């Protein structure tokens, strides 16, 4: 398993409110991206606090559980719930951080499968056999409008309310978390990214950059391409490549 991440402030933002985490060894293959929101640097705090809390929960407790699919799914939920409570409590204790939150997209590789835990509009993609498929669902207003047939994907890219998300970690004490899992094959590539990438590049453009490149080069070129298009937001990518 190869895994590489990169984050960039972009061309217009002063602070980088994105964050990522990679743990890729014999005991744990865990990858996270998060995109924070909130004024007075609260977004940066929310994303970093969520990532640290979830990662710490994994590192302290994951080795103790059975590795059946149902146990892994429940553990991922527990870890993300813990991260949510940490961010929510911090926001309640500091008025300047009230309402802060973050997206969080988590990938775990175990038992020859990928497991996703997801909330918000950061994304996970699977690249297999020359094709790209989004394997997470966006929790955003425009995604809801697309699902209802009210707007097209192209219209969503320029919609004035495209930045409104309908679910986030840390904004409430109770959250709904998406969980998905499926088999991985040798050669599969899984991309985690924030919307600073996907608001600038289409899925096909992302595939064209990733395909047949090693993860480190692909990360560099994705960030470069997003900035060349405008770089209106922070950009974060984590690429994992499954080896035989």
The per-residue pLDDT for range 20-32, each reduced to its tens digit, is: 999 999 999 999 9
Collect all residues with Cβ–Cβ distance below 8 Å to 118 and sequence separation of at least 6.
104, 105, 106, 124, 136, 137, 177, 178, 179, 180
**CATH number, residue 184:** 3.60.40.10
Collapsing DSSP to helix, strand or coil, 197 comes out as helix
Structural domains of the chain, count: 1
Cβ-based burial of 106 (10 A; exposed 0-12, middle 13-18, buried ≥19): buried
CA distance linking residue 54 with residue 81, whole number of Å: 9
The first and second tokens of residue 128, run together, are 């297999």
Q: pLDDT tens per residue, the chain (244 residues)?
A: 999 999 999 999 999 999 999 999 999 999 999 999 986 679 999 999 999 999 999 999 999 999 999 999 999 999 999 999 999 999 999 888 888 999 999 999 999 999 999 999 999 999 999 999 999 999 988 878 878 888 877 777 777 777 788 999 999 999 999 999 999 999 999 999 999 999 999 999 999 999 989 999 999 999 999 999 999 999 999 999 998 6
Q: What does DSSP assign to residue 96?
A: G
pTM over 0.75: yes
Residue numbers of the domain that contains 183 = 2-241
CA distance linking residue 159 with residue 120, whole number of Å: 17
Collect all residues with Cβ–Cβ distance below 8 Å to 48 and sequence separation of at least 6.
19, 34, 36
Query: Are the CB atoms for 63 and 27 separated by under 8 Å?
Result: yes
> Which H helix or E strand runs over 42?
helix 42-61
């Amino acid at each position: 398993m190869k895994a590489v991440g990169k984050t960039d402030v972009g061309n217009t933002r002063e602070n980088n409110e994105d964050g990522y985490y990679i743990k890729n060894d014999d005991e744990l293959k865990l990858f996270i991206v998060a995109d924070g929101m909130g004024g007075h640097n609260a977004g940066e705090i929310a994303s970093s606090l969520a990532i640290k809390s979830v990662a710490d929960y994994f590192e302290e407790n994951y080795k103790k559980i059975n590795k059946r699919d149902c146990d892994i799914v429940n553990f991922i939920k527990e870890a993300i719930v813990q991260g949510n409570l940490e961010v929510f409590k911090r926001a309640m204790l500091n008025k300047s951080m009230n309402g802060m939150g973050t997206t969080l997209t988590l990938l775990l590789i175990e038992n020859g499968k990928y497991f996703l835990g997801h909330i918000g509009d950061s994304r996970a993609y699977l690249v297999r056999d020359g094709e790209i498929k989004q394997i997470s669902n966006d929790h955003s207003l425009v995604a809801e409008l697309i699902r209802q047939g009210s707007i097209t994907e192209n219209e969503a890219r320029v919609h004035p309310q495209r930045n409104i998300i309908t679910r986030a970690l840390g904004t409430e004490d109770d959250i709904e978390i998406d969980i998905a899992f499926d088999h991985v094959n040798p050669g599969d590539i899984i991309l985690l990214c924030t919307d600073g990438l996907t608001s600038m590049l289409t899925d096909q453009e992302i595939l064209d950059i990733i395909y047949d490149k090693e993860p480190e080069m692909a990360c560099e070129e994705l960030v470069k391409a997003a900035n060349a298009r405008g770089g209106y937001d922070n950009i974060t990518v984590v690429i994992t490549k499954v080896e035989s």
